[in-house]
Amino acid sequence: MTERHRRRVAVRAGKHVLLTAVALVMLYPLLWMVVSSLRPDEQIFTQAGLLLTDVDLSNYEDGWDALGQPFSRYVLNSLLVAVGCIVGNLVSCSMAAYAFARLEFRRRRLFFAIMLMTIMLPIHVIIVPQYIVFSQLELTNTFVPLVLPKLLATDAFFVFLMVQFIRGLPRELDEAARIDGAGHARIYLRIILPLMTPALATTAIFTFIWTWNDFFSQLIYLTDPSVYTVPVALRSFVDSASSSSWGAMFAMSVVSLLPVFVVFLFGQRYLVRGIATTGIK
Question: Which residue number, 57 or 272, has a Cβ lying nearer to another protein?
Answer: 272
Q: Which amino acid is at 210?
A: W
- Does 84 bind another protein (CB under 8 A)? Our answer is no
Question: Which residue number, 195 or 209, has a Cβ lying nearer to another protein?
Answer: 209
Question: Which residue number, 2 or 243, has a Cβ lying nearer to another protein?
Answer: 243
Which of 146, 199, 234, 248 is in the footprint of another protein by CB under 8 A? 234
Segment 6 to 25, residues that bind another protein, using CB under 8 A: 15-16, 18-19, 22-23
Please report the DSSP string for 187-241 in residue order. IIIIIIHHHTHHHHHHHHHHHHHHHHH--HHHHHH--SGGG--HHHHHHHHHHH-
- CB 52, CB 39: distance < 8 Å: yes
Considering CB under 8 A, how many residues would be counted as binding another protein? 100
Residue 100-129 contact track with another protein, rule CB under 8 A, x = bound:
---xxxx-xx-xxxxxxxxxxxxxxxxxxx
Distance, in Å, from the CA atom of 176 to the CA atom of 166, rounded to the nearest integer, reads 16
Segment 150 to 209, residues that bind another protein, using CB under 8 A: 151-154, 157, 159-160, 183-185, 188, 209
Buried b / exposed e over 120-159, threshold 16 CB at 10 Å, is eeeeeeeeeebeeebeeeeebbbbebbbbbbeebbbbbbb
DSSP 70: -
CB of 228 to another protein, least distance (A): 11
Segment 21 to 50, residues that bind another protein, using CB under 8 A: 22-23, 26-27, 29-30, 32-33, 44-48
Distances (CA, A) of 66 to 15, 69, 76, 227, 241: 46, 8, 17, 16, 9
- CB 218, CB 129: distance < 8 Å: no
Distance, in Å, from the CA atom of 164 to the CA atom of 236, rounded to the nearest integer, reads 41
CB of 200 to another protein, least distance (A): 16
CB of 105 to another protein, least distance (A): 4
Sequence-distant (6+) residues with CB within 8 A of 212 are 78, 82, 230, 259, 260
CB of 17 to another protein, least distance (A): 12
CB of 94 to another protein, least distance (A): 9
CB of 170 to another protein, least distance (A): 18
**Cβ atoms < 10 Å from Cβ of 106:** 7
- Does 133 bind another protein (CB under 8 A)? Our answer is yes
Question: Which residue number, 1 or 26, has a Cβ lying nearer to another protein?
Answer: 26
DSSP 69: S
Segment 237 to 266, residues that bind another protein, using CB under 8 A: 238-239, 246, 249-250, 252-254, 256-257, 260-261, 264
CB of 10 to another protein, least distance (A): 15
Sequence-distant (6+) residues with CB within 8 A of 144 are 134
- Does 51 bind another protein (CB under 8 A)? Our answer is no
Q: How far is CA 128 from the centre of its chain?
A: 24
Which of 98, 158, 165, 270 is in the footprint of another protein by CB under 8 A? 98
